[in-house]
Structure 1
Amino acid sequence: MCGISGWIDFQRDLTGERPAIDAMCATMTCRGPDAGGTWVRPHAALGHRRLAIIDLPGGAQPMEAATPDGEVAIVYSGEAYNFTDLRDELRRRGHRFDTDSDTEVVLHGYLEWGPQVAEHLNGMFAFAVWDTRSEQLLLIRDRMGIKPLYYYPTGQGVLFGSEPKAILANPLAEKVVDVDGLREMFAMVKTPRQAMWSGMREVEPGTVVTVDRKGLREHTYWRLRAAAHDDDQQASVAHVRELLDDIVARQLISDVPRCVLLSGGLDSSAITALAGRQLARSGEQVRSFAVDFLGQAENFVPDEMRGTPDTPYVHDVAEHVGSLHQDIVLDPDALADPAVRRATVKARDVPLGMGDLDQSLYLLFKAIRGHSTVALSGESADEVFGGYKWFHDPQVRQAETFPWIAAVRTHSTERAEVLSPDLAAALDLESYVADSYRDAIGSVPVLDGEGDFERRMREICYLHLTRFVRVLLDRKDRMSMAVGLEVRVPFCDHRLVEYVFNAPWSLKTFDGREKSLLRHATADVLPKSVVERVKSPYPSTQDPKYAAVLQRQVADLVAAGDPALSLLDERWLRGTLAQDPARIDPMARFTFERALDLSMWFDIHNPTIKL
């Protein structure tokens, strides 16, 4: 996994700037707790923090290769699941290897294929290559954007890092958030390349960014494309299963303990079952973990989002698969602990406001890290197979905006945001979202002869795979890497994504339910209870004690005149503080989460806000 950082400057001699690159690396010690290293030349400084997963003694970075014409160095984050196949191919082409690491394979892949090495990789990755022969930097990111990568042009070169905090540690970077950054923060959209911090950009998934003395340019090596789907129902189900078997087998490769994240839903249960079958072949038992909340199973109340508690289904799967299972049970005090909130806000670099979903995920990962270093997740199956309820809502389908925003507007009469009137007017989020939606729809690939309904469902699937999923993948990466846990996402394998994206909607729902292809491809390895279970999202605590603690914490912020609250509607906020602590409504709780995250963010970064 790991964290990478670097500084390229074509006018300055960086050999005396080692303290700066060390400081950039130090911000990502949590991403790479096992080792760190730097590589400095006159115009390039590269830094790396390592989480050792493959070839523990031999994978140290930065890694370099000597050629007759000069050096080539790499800093790499992620996993190339087909690295053994590539190593065999490169050996046939005359390459020699000194380690068993995938990093060395990627480095030699660059020597063989140049920037096109990305097209040969199957995995999740973000890496930088500095080639002294051409004085050229390449920043390369995986197809789905599983691993993060940011850059900050400086005029004489560029700063880069796995996370914004690495870039912000360099004195050349300013901690400024402008209007567009605030719009991204509050609008529930993900604009390509937008990094929220002014002047900073995000490397787009499936993209190579090249930096040299001529400037900076981009090349997209992968994007979703429309293609005819010729397989019938039986063949489609069989191919999905074939792909999943291969994907899970590849993603179980590790030299350190691994496990699976199990929620009792179809997605995570399928991964758990397939992993269990793969490991059983070598006499191993799959290990699984689930999150739960104190008293949730006994006191669960169905709501519009979640119709059933997870725990009974989790235990059904664990028993059916024979996994070594553990529930991580969290209480309201742990979820509301300011130290935990600080860790999550610091990990994300911006206050994106997912509340207890962030805190519980962080605490789950922290507990898992005591047993395993690698975890497989069911994340992204809903985006790939069409699992969210709003995929099936006619009102949402017809709405001319992002489906997840339309779902909130359709099913809630409460305010979607609680910004101060002046800030709300300055941001004009409604226009911003509308413009972003038009841009997104304009990039959807077209299939000749496709009917209006199938065309619309292709659009909705595309929006989720190119906008919505990136928010969730980023959250998963930040919360897991904050505790040094590598989380792998089998459903983001680009082969599976491409195949299912082009399956017609009628095939994705052929049994009249969501995720038909996945359900039928894995039904033989799952308990009946899970096969028949209705979609339920990642759990959220229902304990009123949690909301009451948040209310007290926000009251303290108001009393202290916390400057972060200037971004929110203070009159409305004070009104929510007057609510009965035992009856705090969802919008009030959301507002409390937002206020506390903003306060923590201001305290951590002391950002300059430019309107």
Structure 2
Amino acid sequence: MCGIAGQVGRDPRTIQRRYAAYCAMQQTLARRGPDQRGMYICGAAALIHARLAVVDLENGLQPMQLDWQGETYVLVYNGELYNTPELRAALAARGHSFNGHSDTEVLLHAFAEWGANCVPRCNGIFAFAVWQQNAGALFLARDRCGVKPLFYTQAEDSLIFGSELKTLLAHPAVPSRVDANGLAEVLLLGPGRTPGCGVFQNVRELLPGQYAVYETQTARLTLHTYWRLEDHDHPDDFAATARRVRDLVTDAIERQLVSDVPVATFLSGGLDSSLISAIADAHFTAQGNQLQTFSVGYRDNKKYFHATKFQPGADAPYIRKMNDFLHARHHWVTLDTPELVPA
């Protein structure tokens, strides 16, 4: 994962004097993006990025800038696009050329070509921001299921955004003040939250399937829904449904195996991780490679484990069964309490 943040406003002087705040915001994203850091500060915009490098390590640096048909676009992006080759081909047919093979560059060109209409074309998990320098507008978008987080608030006659709440709170214009609604979220719903709620006063979360446009000259923020879950009649029989589900799950997993760095899976012995590992293992084996799998356990787990309705049995026996089935190289990681509790 990566981390994004930034501030855009009407008065460039507000942005220029906040460099220390932007460094503090970037530091909160260090664990999300340990490989590379970047910052764009120009005029009325500051965009911040912390990168976990997965695809095109050299050419995928962010913030990424593109000059296209009289406009300058600057992108910060957290996520993965699973239909990058299809989008790249469509864009190339429209005259776009690329310096590398990152999905970041494809997404930037897609926005330059299609604007907000690029978002429904994207198959993936993402939260991203695009600054349009000449128009003085910021575009924000979040994936359909809300896998990637994105919070924002309006302060200092500007919009401030970030991947995490603590990123916003690192900005001196965003107080860590909880109102009655935020307190109710923490006490009554925690650890969950009402979608869209940012817990802290005046902080909101961009909803899954939404995009937003912030115009700096008017300080106007408009929200748009580009996707929502809908129900339809299901005409298929059981056999056809099973084939369709298998095809969709296999395609979704295999699309996520594209990487320029080693790929591994977590294996807990549960249904989800076992299914993902099995499909990844078959994919790797067909290419003559070996999948790496990892399981995390705790010292003296056998001694202290108590069965519950939520977890009636330990994970280890099911992990071993999957190990026997897979062709993967498995790694057991055992943690002790002092490693989990800061000194």
Cα distance in 2 for partners of 1:68, 1:272 equals 45
Shift of 1:41: 1.8
Distance 1:323 1:255 in 2: 19
Mapped to 1, the partners of 2:321 and 2:195 lie a distance apart of: 41
Instruction: Write out aligned runs for 1:381-420 (5 A).
Output: none
- In the superposition, relative to structure 1, how do residues 175 and 318 fare at CA in structure 2: closer, same or farther (>3 Å)? same
1:258 and 2:259 aligned: no
Aligned 8 A contact 1:78 1:147 in 2: yes
Counterparts of 2:100 and 2:17, CA distance in 1: 31
Q: What's 2:284 paired with?
A: 279
Aligned counterpart for 2:309 among listed residues 304, 309, 320: 304
2:6 counterpart residue number: 6
What is the distance in 2 between the residues matched to 1:202 and 1:154? 15
Q: Distance in 2 between matches of 1:238 and 1:105?
A: 32
Residue in structure 2 matching 1:200, options 192, 199, 203: 203
Alpha-carbon distance, 1:16 to partner: 4.4
* Separation of aligned partners in 1, 2:306 and 2:160: 49
- Deviation of 1:154 (Å): 1.3
Instruction: Work out which of the residue numbers 188, 193, 197 in structure 2 matches 1:190.
Output: 193
Question: Normalising by the residue count of structure 2, what TM-score does the alignment of the two structures yield?
Answer: 0.94
Deviations 1:347-401 (A, max 9, x none): xxxxxxxxxxxxxxxxxxxxxxxxxxxxxxxxxxxxxxxxxxxxxxxxxxxxxxx
Question: 1:65 — aligned with what?
Answer: 66
**Counterparts of 2:149 and 2:332, CA distance in 1:** 29
Structure 1 match to 2:54: 53
Deviates more, 1:228-237 or 1:186-195: 186-195
Structure in which a larger fraction of residues adopt strand: 2
Q: 1:221 aligns with which of 217, 226, 230?
A: 226
Partner-residue secondary structure (3-state), 1:187: helix
Provide the residue aligned with 2:125 in structure 1: 124
C-alpha distance in structure 2 between counterparts of 1:22 and 1:294, whole Å: 38
Cross-structure match for 2:324: 319
For residues 25-36 of structure 1, the aligned pairs below 5 Å read 25-36=26-37
1:143–1:222 CA contact under 8 A, matched in 2: yes
- Aligned-partner SS, 1:20: helix
Question: Equivalents in 2 of 1:57, 1:304: separation in Å?
Answer: 48
Deviation readout 1:246-291 (Å, 9 max, x if unpaired): 1111101111111111111122111111110011111111111112
- 3-state SS of paired residue (1:289): strand
Q: Deviations over 1:37-94 (max 9, x none)?
A: 1111211111111111100011111111113423111011111111122111110111
Give per-residue Cα distances to partners, 1:99-132, cap 9 Å, x unaligned: 2111110000001110121111111111000112
Identity of aligned residues (%): 40
The amino acid across from 1:199 in the alignment is: N
Q: Name the residue aligned to 1:501.
A: none
Q: What secondary structure, in the 3-state scheme, does the structure 1 residue paired with 2:144 have?
A: coil
Q: Which moved more, 1:142-151 or 1:68-77?
A: 68-77
SS of residue in 2 equivalent to 1:177: coil
Please report the TM-score for the alignment, with normalisation by the length of structure 1: 0.54
Counterpart Cα distance in 1 of 2:318 and 2:71: 58
Q: Which amino acid aligns with 2:198?
A: A
RMSD: 1.6
Contact 1:297 1:311 in 2 (8 A): no
**Per-residue displacement from partner, 1:479-526 (whole Å, max 9, x unpaired)?**
xxxxxxxxxxxxxxxxxxxxxxxxxxxxxxxxxxxxxxxxxxxxxxxx
User: How far apart in 2 are the matches of 1:61 and 1:230?
Assistant: 46
Please report how far the alpha carbon of residue 298 of structure 1 lies from its aligned counterpart in structure 2 after TM superposition: 6.6
In the alignment, the residues of structure 1 paired with residue 83 and residue 127 of structure 2 have an alpha-carbon distance, to the nearest angstrom, of 16
The offset of 1:331, in angstroms, is 3.1
Count matched residues: 338
Distance change (3 Å), C-alpha of 1:68 and 1:90: closer
CA offset at residue 155 of structure 1? 5.4
Distance 2:48 2:300 in 1: 45
Unaligned runs of 5+ in 2: none
CA contact (8 A) 2:12 2:45 kept: no
Does the aligned pair in 1 maintain the 2:156–2:173 contact within 8 Å? no
Deviations 1:513-562 (A, max 9, x none): xxxxxxxxxxxxxxxxxxxxxxxxxxxxxxxxxxxxxxxxxxxxxxxxxx
2:296 maps to amino acid:
V
Give the structure with higher Rg (CA).
1
Q: 1:86 & 1:260 partners in 2: Cα distance? A: 27
Q: Which residue of 1 aligns with 2:108?
A: 107
Q: Distance between the aligned counterparts of 1:294 and 1:33, measured in 2?
A: 28
C-alpha separation in 1, matches of 2:296 and 2:246:
27
Matching residue's letter, 1:139: L
Partner of 2:45 in structure 1? 44
User: Whole-Å Cα distance in 1 between the matches of residues 46 and 336 of structure 2?
Assistant: 45
Cα offset, 1:17, TM superposition: 3.5
Indicate the structure with greater helix content: 1
State the one-letter code of the partner of 2:7: W
Contact 2:48/2:63 (8 A) holds in 1: yes
- CA–CA distance in 1 between the matches of 2:165 and 2:271? 34
Letter of the 1:196 partner, please give it: V
Write the mapping of 1:196-595 to structure 2, written as runs, cut at 5 A: 196-212=199-215, 213-214=217-218, 215-297=220-302, 300-335=305-340, 337-339=341-343
CA distance in 2, matches of 1:219, 1:147: 17
Name which structure has the greater RCO, CA cutoff 8 Å, separation 6+: 1
Give the partner amino acid of 2:212. Answer: V
Query: Deviation digits for residues 412-452 of structure 1, max 9, x if unmatched?
Result: xxxxxxxxxxxxxxxxxxxxxxxxxxxxxxxxxxxxxxxxx
